Chains A and B, each alone.
Chain A
């Protein structure tokens, strides 16, 4: 993908930037190739070939900073681009907080790009015919259906891709990462009793052998069928179980609130939380950035800082903000990494629970299987989301519910934390299992 000639080009670009007035500079070259086959109702609908390549430059000139990008990568065009970029940076205000990542904390182990085993050589041999067959084989459109419903449409999308990124800076940083990805997603719409219901399922892996496209079609159809006859439940307080497919909605705002940028802007409901016990004992969130062979694993962040396994929240105590060099200098804090890479919620109260076991543990409540819109207030943690799912009693699903809202505050939500399963999907960027919370407000 990224050739030696292109790596040489980046070095030349950095050298040229220094010769032209930049004291420091960093460059990120990214390249990707993707082939996609979309189906509609079991027939080929669209084929797409994508080839991308672009260079981003961060320039530090006379205490000033600017960031630039281009996909015109001929050296002559790049020289003009860099000269114009330096001229632009000189127009900006000085900012002493801007700097390259300190070499002592940058990654030195990502030299070939495949250190995390996320490249499947099989991709190089995939032919257009194989892609077409993979997409068609995944279709369940022709599956016989009972008279209660009919499949109105099935839209599937198979793709395989390779992505590579290389980082260099004028402090000697060099790291690169390559990963392949094999993906399938499908949305099925059914009609029953004059109403339409839809279900979506997807799968994504670095290695083609792990992809289970056929299961996606079956699952999407099951999801759509399960919603037949859904209606709101009575408004009130319920125990809420969130399916692993969408449970990241409960933790993502918490992780965003630990972002150094949000903290520096005083726009976080977790201000001054470092080292404090904000959450219940049962909540531990680890970052596992080096899981081999998995999509989203990373050895370095976007400024080249080395990632490492660590605790984000441990026994309810906040252990880390996500701080890059710039925000670290702004806050007077030691930089960590820019973002969590693969946050992982540990099982609670015991290992081995799946959705069924958690429903049984909770007894009665609402199982949320999808969120529909909504938002949260980053400063207060207040949230309100549309949901669909199921009412359950004595641990068993009773009927589907939709057109309902769940409303609350993330700090109080997590005080009602009751359970976390061991069933997180490994193909997701956040390893969030089925979760359960008590005393949650639902409106319908």
Chain B
């Protein structure tokens, strides 16, 4: 696929722009052209009365001098504006930027010209060719389905957002890489009322698909998850806080891997010596049999990438293999610095940002320690968590926290009391070392996960049910 025509530029012009960028002595230059159309529709108070679309168009130009970056962009593809941006980015290598004479790196070819990349998100029906009115009945059925299934659902907001990004990347090697990236997201915040009590919930589903994602299966899944366990939410209390074992349900608990481990495996934090996993490459960091990976090849996943935003093909990267740290997540800069091939993790929010190491779909492979019931049955007193939100980690210290939207108290191997609105805190390496059991029920969650490391990037996460022997649980 070559989509250069939509940007009004030729490959010869791109070549000249790269030369402009390198004129002051940079050793690498790449261009990122983007044309994104974003649409949204919202049902609120019973009708789809809000909608719109948004266009974002431009080109980012990056020049590298060793590990140093110059970046500039233009909100157009006017050739003269791009020349100006290329020169601004190229200033990183000039004497006035104080970086002249920096070490040059050997960069790896992305092989995009010869590498046969599988399309991880083929589109059957392009969102841009459909009219918004065709989606209104879907949102109406969604609201009706939720309200008819639970009359306590007092306020249902149903939002559909969808976008297509056309991107083209060109670099110092003369490699041209193009991609078409669809993304559809359904988000449903609901307010339930029972007597004088109010509970709110938010369910979502997000996939790199076209219009064909709006199936009855997706509709029913959102309806079912909207009302599932709401009785327990009204009955839930806070447990007594303290240190205790925690069983995490398969799927969305994968946010633990993303926050507590994945960020600390990103190579920029390690290159700068900031991560708690710096200098741990090749060392055992958790029990044998545990594999943790970051994967750009999960079909239709929100975290899937045919190519990353540096033109590197999407791939699977094992960060932890059989309990041993085997790879960081690299962009071109860190890969060149470490002398390894990039792992396809150079991602960015848009042409306005330079790429940095980011996760895609991060998950742990299945273990052999039985089922979720087995894990719960092995705990004398602890917490079972089935819905997390708002994870955060301190990269250097490794300390992480997660907000528990819903879960249960475990007593003598049984779920005895629903709990909610508590926080769990731990330390990434310690939590990894404290994983006692991994079930065989891996699930990759398809909710609308967005990672906010400096820039917002769509990701996904997953995990089988796991038992961690000791975390701090907040409570009364």
- State the A residues within 8 Å of B (CB): 40, 43-54, 64-72, 81, 84-85, 88-89, 91-95, 98, 128-129, 132, 136, 152-153, 155, 189, 195-198, 227, 232, 235, 265-267, 271, 330, 372-380, 382-386, 388, 402-407, 441, 443-444
Q: Does B54 lie within 8 Å of A68, measured CB to CB?
A: yes
B19 at the interface (CB under 8 A from A): no
Closest chain B CB from A436 CB (angstroms): 20
Which residues of B (154-207) have their CB < 8 Å from a CB of A? 154-155, 157, 189, 191, 193, 198-200
Q: Does A407 lie within 8 Å of B352, measured CB to CB?
A: no
Quick check: which of B89-97, B119-127, B298-306 contacts chain A, the rest being far away?
Answer: B89-97
Residues of B within 8 A of A65 (CB): 49-50
Q: Does B241 lie within 8 Å of A153, measured CB to CB?
A: no
Q: List, sorted by A's number, 16 A–B pairs whose CB atoms are closer than 8 Å.
A: A40-B272, A43-B99, A46-B92, A48-B69, A66-B51, A91-B136, A95-B50, A189-B273, A198-B397, A330-B45, A373-B401, A375-B421, A382-B420, A384-B474, A407-B241, A407-B476
Residues of B within 8 A of A129 (CB): 96
Q: Does B403 lie within 8 Å of A196, measured CB to CB?
A: no
The residue in chain A whose Cβ has the minimal distance to the Cβ of B61 is A49
Residues of B within 8 A of A72 (CB): 55, 57, 76
Closest chain A CB from B259 CB (angstroms): 8
B85 at the interface (CB under 8 A from A): yes
Q: With A46-B354, A266-B193, A267-B155 as given contacts, are A196 and B274 in contact (CB-CB < 8 Å)? A: yes
Residue among A54, A72, A155 with max Cβ neighbours from chain B (10 Å): A72
The residue in chain A whose Cβ has the minimal distance to the Cβ of B44 is A265
Q: With A128-B97, A196-B396, A386-B392 as given contacts, are A266 and B54 in contact (CB-CB < 8 Å)? A: no
User: Which one, B55, B99, B404, contacts A69 given CB within 8 A?
Assistant: B55
The residue in chain B whose Cβ has the minimal distance to the Cβ of A198 is B396
Q: Does A152 lie within 8 Å of B392, measured CB to CB?
A: no
Q: Is the interface on chain B under 10, 10 to 19, 20 to 34, or 35 or more residues?
A: 35 or more
Which residues of B (442-476) have their CB < 8 Å from a CB of A? 472-476
Closest 9 CB pairs of A and B: A373-B401, A443-B241, A373-B392, A405-B474, A386-B401, A95-B49, A384-B423, A196-B396, A375-B403
Residues of A within 8 A of B47 (CB): 93-95
Residues of B within 8 A of A153 (CB): 272-274
Q: Does B390 lie within 8 Å of A49, measured CB to CB?
A: no
Q: Would you call the interface of chain B mostly helix, strand, loop, or mixed?
A: strand
Residues of B within 8 A of A45 (CB): 67-69
The residue in chain B whose Cβ has the minimal distance to the Cβ of A384 is B423
Residues of B within 8 A of A128 (CB): 91, 96-97
Residues of B within 8 A of A232 (CB): 472
Q: Does A402 lie within 8 Å of B397, measured CB to CB?
A: yes
A274 to B57 Cα, complex, angstroms: 45
Q: Does B274 lie within 8 Å of A386, measured CB to CB?
A: no
B408 at the interface (CB under 8 A from A): no
Not counting A46-B354, A374-B423, a sample of 13 additional A-B residue pairs whose C-beta atoms are within 8 angstroms of each other reads A40-B67, A47-B91, A48-B72, A50-B352, A51-B73, A69-B52, A70-B55, A266-B154, A373-B391, A373-B392, A386-B401, A403-B425, A441-B476
B346 at the interface (CB under 8 A from A): no
B336 at the interface (CB under 8 A from A): no
Residues of B within 8 A of A404 (CB): 425, 472
B432 at the interface (CB under 8 A from A): no
Residues of A within 8 A of B74 (CB): 51
B276 at the interface (CB under 8 A from A): yes
Mask, B372-415, CB within 8 Å of A = 1, is: 00000000000000000111111111111111100000000000
The residue in chain B whose Cβ has the minimal distance to the Cβ of A227 is B397
A407 to B340 Cα, complex, angstroms: 45
Q: Does B421 lie within 8 Å of A85, measured CB to CB?
A: no
Q: Does A85 lie within 8 Å of B273, measured CB to CB?
A: no
User: Which one, A92, A152, A403, A407, contacts B50 given CB within 8 A?
Assistant: A92
Closest chain A CB from B279 CB (angstroms): 11
Q: Does A91 lie within 8 Å of B51, measured CB to CB?
A: yes
Residues of B within 8 A of A64 (CB): 49
Residues of A within 8 A of B52 (CB): 66-69, 85, 88
Residues of B within 8 A of A52 (CB): 75, 352
Q: Does B474 lie within 8 Å of A443, measured CB to CB?
A: yes
Q: Does A386 lie within 8 Å of B425, measured CB to CB?
A: yes
Q: Does A81 lie within 8 Å of B396, measured CB to CB?
A: no
B288 at the interface (CB under 8 A from A): no
Which residues of B (120-167) have their CB < 8 Å from a CB of A? 131-133, 136, 154-155, 157
B316 at the interface (CB under 8 A from A): no
The residue in chain B whose Cβ has the minimal distance to the Cβ of A385 is B423
Q: Does A66 lie within 8 Å of B73, measured CB to CB?
A: no
Residues of A within 8 A of B56 (CB): 71
Closest chain A CB from B79 CB (angstroms): 15
Q: With A380-B421, A384-B403, A405-B241 as given contacts, are A132 and B68 in contact (CB-CB < 8 Å)? A: no
Q: With A44-B99, A50-B73, A67-B50 as given contacts, are A386 and B399 in contact (CB-CB < 8 Å)? A: yes
Residues of A within 8 A of B97 (CB): 44, 47, 128, 132
Closest chain B CB from A63 CB (angstroms): 10
Residues of B within 8 A of A407 (CB): 238, 241, 422-423, 474-476
B58 at the interface (CB under 8 A from A): yes
Q: Does B397 lie within 8 Å of A195, measured CB to CB?
A: yes
Mask, B212-248, CB within 8 Å of A = 1, is: 0000000000000000000000000010011000000
